[in-house]
Amino acid sequence: QSVLTQPPSTSGTPGQRVSISCSGSRSNVGTNTVYWYQQLPGTAPKLLIYGNGRRPSGVPDRFSASKSGTSVSLAISGLRSEDEADYYCVTWDDSLNGYVFGTGTTVTVL
Amino acid sequence: QVQLIQSGAEVRKPGASVKVSCKVSGSSVTEASLHWVRQAPGKGLEWMGFFDPEDGQTVYAHEFQGRLTVTEDTSTDTAYMELTTLRSEDTALYFCAMIIQYEIFDLWGQGTLVTVSS
């Protein structure tokens, strides 16, 4: 059972803004950098957000991240059909001495 | 262009072991730490452990302690993940991933499906 909690699913219509939360604790989200991945079925995850909200080359600025205490959020603005996927947060946990992934959130574009 | 190329699908019986390989093409296996992540069917991502080439140490997630061994062969630039005492819950897609540029797993293999079934 993951120590990072995400909502199982969220949805929106094209053009809308959706947000995905990732709730942890002081030993993980509260202390360390949180990263975000997008995963399409049967494929390897794709890095969306790293190091304090930065995006790798090629990731559109429709994706953004924020942090408040022991929770972080990924926002997708101007929702598009190709954004329909699973999204995961991940960070290092100082107590567990390892990386921990969030439970994952499925985004559906209506 | 650096790529991670994993070995093919495996089928094992409960109690057996499996060894999955991950070849680093276009670079060296010692270039960066190589991690293992798995995903059971319909489930989320689960970090398993990694080999740190800087100090030669391995770090394993608690739930895999005693069953997981991660090694590297620098002569062939290939990393290996061996999981023993397999059970049905170990049926999953196993990924290798490296931290190259973005401080986290930014290069992934294609995944290796391991099926544990009697």
Instruction: Report the C-alpha gap between A46 and A43 in whole angstroms.
Output: 9
Q: Do B105 and A47 count as a contact with CB atoms less than 8 A apart?
A: yes
Instruction: Report the C-alpha gap between A20 and A75 in whole angstroms.
Output: 6
What the block records as the tokens of A100 is 């921990």
What is the structure's pLDDT at A79?
Answer: 98
pLDDT in tens, A32-51: 999 999 999 889 999 999 99
Q: Average the pLDDT over A15-22 and give the result.
A: 98
Instruction: Report the C-alpha gap between A2 and A99 in whole angstroms.
Output: 10
pLDDT in tens, A2-12: 899 999 999 99
Q: How many A×B Cβ pairs under 8 Å?
A: 57
Q: Do A50 and B35 count as a contact with CB atoms less than 8 A apart?
A: no
What is the structure's pLDDT at B55?
Answer: 86
Strand-pair partners of A53: none
High-pLDDT (> 70) share of chain A, %: 99
What is the structure's pLDDT at B54?
Answer: 83
pLDDT in tens, B8-63: 999 999 999 999 999 999 888 888 899 999 999 999 999 999 998 888 899 999 99
Strand-pair partners of B81: B20, B70
Instruction: Report the C-alpha gap between B86 and B117 in whole angstroms.
Output: 9
Residue B58 exposed, middle or buried by CB count within 10 Å (0-12, 13-18, 19+): middle
Q: Average the pLDDT over A49-77 and give the result.
A: 95
Return residues 92-111 of B near A (CB < 8 Å): 95, 97, 101-106, 108-111
Q: Average the pLDDT over B60-67 and give the result.
A: 95
**Is A108 a residue whose pLDDT tops 80?**
yes
What is the structure's pLDDT at A28?
Answer: 97
Cβ neighbour number for residue B79 with a 10 Å cutoff? 27
What is the structure's pLDDT at A1?
Answer: 66
Confidence band, pLDDT 50/70/90 cuts, at residue A99? very high
Q: Do A44 and B110 count as a contact with CB atoms less than 8 A apart?
A: yes
What is the structure's pLDDT at B53?
Answer: 83
CA distances from A41 to A80, A87, B1, B41 (A): 17, 11, 25, 10
> B37, B38, B43, B47: which to substitute to probe chain A, counting the most A Cβ within 10 Å?
B47
What is the structure's pLDDT at B28?
Answer: 87
Instruction: Report the C-alpha gap between A65 and A40 in whole angstroms.
Output: 20
Q: Do B49 and A98 count as a contact with CB atoms less than 8 A apart?
A: yes
Residues of A in contact with B102 (CB under 8 A): 47, 50-51, 56
